[in-house]
Amino acid sequence: EAGVTQFPSHSVIEKGQTVTLRCDPISGHDNLYWYRRVMGKEIKFLLHFVKESKQDESGMPNNRFLAERTGGTYSTLKVQPAELEDSGVYFCASSPRDGSYEQYFGPGTRLTVT
Amino acid sequence: RKEVEQDPGPFNVPEGATVAFNCTYSNSASQSFFWYRQDCRKEPKLLMSVYSSGNEDGRFTAQLNRASQYISLLIRDSKLSDSATYLCVLGGYGGATNKLIFGTGTLLAVQP
C-alpha cells in the first residue's frame, strides 16, 4: 500500500512569492492533516480535513495560508504571499475514518523563503 | 508553558545500554499518548502507543502516569539503529479533531 506522498520535496522561493504544496493521503483515508515544523521548534498542527470539509483550522497562522481538499482526495496548501517566517518543513498526515488516533505522515516539504 | 515538555538531549549512550526518556504534559484532558520516532530529515513514525497499564514492544517499554501527567519510554539493549529523535505526542483532546500535539523531541545517539 502506498504511503502518504507530498510534492515538492523541497521549495525555495523569495519573499512575496506564492507556493503551493500538495499532499496525497493513503487511499481511503478520510482524515487529512497538515503540520509544520519551523527550525528549533516542535511540530505544530495547522488544520484537519474530514473528506473535503475543514474540521479544525485552529492552527493556521494567518490568512496567507489557504488549504483545500476538493473532492476529498488530495489536498493543497497555498502560501501567498510567503514571508521569511514561513520557512520550515510542512508535513501532511492521514488516518482512516475509524476514530484511531494513529496518523501516517508523509515525508514533508521543506520550504525555504529567502 | 509548553503543552508537552521533553529533555532535548542529546543522550549519548553505548550500544547495549538501557536509556529512559521522560515527558510531561500540561493538559489533563489528553486522551491518547504516543511515542513517535523521527530520523534525521525524515517524517515522524509511530513507535508505540502508551497506556496507563504500561505496554511493551520488544526492547521498548512505555508507561503513562495520568496522576503526575508523565510519560516514559525505556529502551533496553540499545542498537546503533535506535539513533533518532524520539517525540512525545498527545492526542484526543475531545471534540471533533484528532490533532496531535508534539513535544520538541529527545535526541538519542547510540555509540558503537
- The phi, psi pair for A60, rounded to 5°, reads -65, 125
Average pLDDT over residues A4-14: 97
Average pLDDT over residues B18-24: 95
pLDDT at B40: 93
- Say if residue B95's pLDDT is above 70: no
Longest distance between any two alpha carbons in chain B, whole Å: 47
Closest CA to B74 of B23, B10, B5: B23
Pairing type for strands B106-111 and B84-91 reads antiparallel
Whole-angstrom Cα distance, residue B67 to residue B65?
6
- A43 vs B92 pLDDT, higher one: A43
Contacting residues of A for B100, CB less than 8 Å apart: 33, 35, 43, 45, 93, 101, 103
Whole-angstrom Cα distance, residue A28 to residue A48?
16
Nearest-Cα distance to chain A for B102, in Å, is 6
pLDDT at B93: 63
Question: Which residue of chain B is at minimal alpha-carbon distance from A54?
Answer: B97
pLDDT at A2: 81
Q: Give CA separation, A14 vs A5, A84, A103, B54, B61, in Å.
A: 25, 8, 32, 49, 46
pLDDT at A25: 96
Write the pLDDT tens digit of every residue in A27-39.
999 999 999 999 8
Q: Give CA separation, B70 vs A44, A58, B104, in Å.
A: 20, 26, 15
Task: Give A40's pLDDT tier (boundaries 50, 70, 90).
Answer: confident
Mean of all residue pLDDT scores within chain B: 91
In sequence order, the β-bridge partners of residue A6 are A23
Provide residues of A within 8 Å CB-CB of chain B: 31, 33, 35, 41-45, 48, 50, 55-56, 58-59, 91, 93, 95, 99, 101-108
Q: Which residues contact B29 (CB under 8 A, 6 or more apart)?
A: B93, B94
Residue written as grid cell 535526541: B107
Write the pLDDT tens digit of every residue in A42-55.
999 999 999 999 99
Task: Write the residue in B43, B87, B98 that is nearest to A101 by C-beta.
Answer: B98
Annotate B26-84 with DSSP letters as a single string.
S-TT--EEEEEEE-TTS-EEEEEEE-TT-EEETTEEEEEETTTTEEEEEE-S--GGG-E
Task: Write the residue in B45, B92, B99 that is nearest to A48 by C-beta.
Answer: B99
CB contact under 8 A, B97 and A48: yes
- Say if residue B92's pLDDT is above 80: no
Write the pLDDT tens digit of every residue in A65-100.
999 998 889 999 999 999 999 999 999 999 987 666
Task: Write the residue in A31, A58, A104 that is nearest to B98 by C-beta.
Answer: A31
